[in-house]
Amino acid sequence: MEYLRLTVQESYCKAANENRQGAASKMRFGKSAFKYEGTLKGYLTLLFVLCAADLLITFAALPLGAMEINPVMAEIIHTPQGIMLKLIGSLAVVAWLWHRRNETVLKLAKWLVGGYGFVVMWNLWVFVRLAAR
């Protein structure tokens, strides 16, 4: 009986140790143990696409008489450096969120996609209204 108990305990410890080593090797080689990685990747990709769409729709609406409401972007939107800052800044935020990838970041990404989705829909509505004039 003692032999059986020792064998079960040894096999349990061996399995636990293998799980720890497997997780450590995944983290060591750049892979994550985060189970919603694919979902987060989709949200972050969509976030960057929405940022780029915001920029493109704003550029299309400005000649029609639209105004940039964001005071920071209103100052820099008319320069090539400002455009690059917007795109590189968006990409940097997405990369930082990807680096942090955990469930809190997934929740934040969902909120950011929802917020930017609202901004893009608003921009489209303004663009359509101005184009119809």
Assess whether 23 and 48 both reside in one domain: no
Give the range of the structural domain holding residue 17, as residue numbers without chain letter.
1-30
Assess whether 54 and 118 both reside in one domain: yes
Q: What is the pLDDT of residues 99-123, one digit of tens each?
A: 999 999 999 999 999 999 999 999 9
Q: How do the pLDDT tens digits run along the chain, 133 residues long?
A: 555 555 555 655 565 565 555 554 445 445 566 788 999 999 999 999 999 999 999 999 999 999 999 998 999 988 999 999 999 999 999 999 999 999 999 999 999 999 999 999 999 999 999 999 8
Assess whether 63 and 107 both reside in one domain: yes
Assess whether 62 and 1 both reside in one domain: no
3-class SS string, the chain: CHHHHHHHHHHHHHHHHHHHHHHHHHHHCCCCCCCCHHHHHHHHHHHHHHHHHHHHHHHHHHHHCCCCCCHHHHHHCCCHHHHHHHHHHHHHHHHHHHHHCCHHHHHHHHHHHHHHHHHHHHHHHHHHHHHCC
Total count of domains within the chain: 2
Assess whether 123 and 97 both reside in one domain: yes
Assess whether 1 and 40 both reside in one domain: no
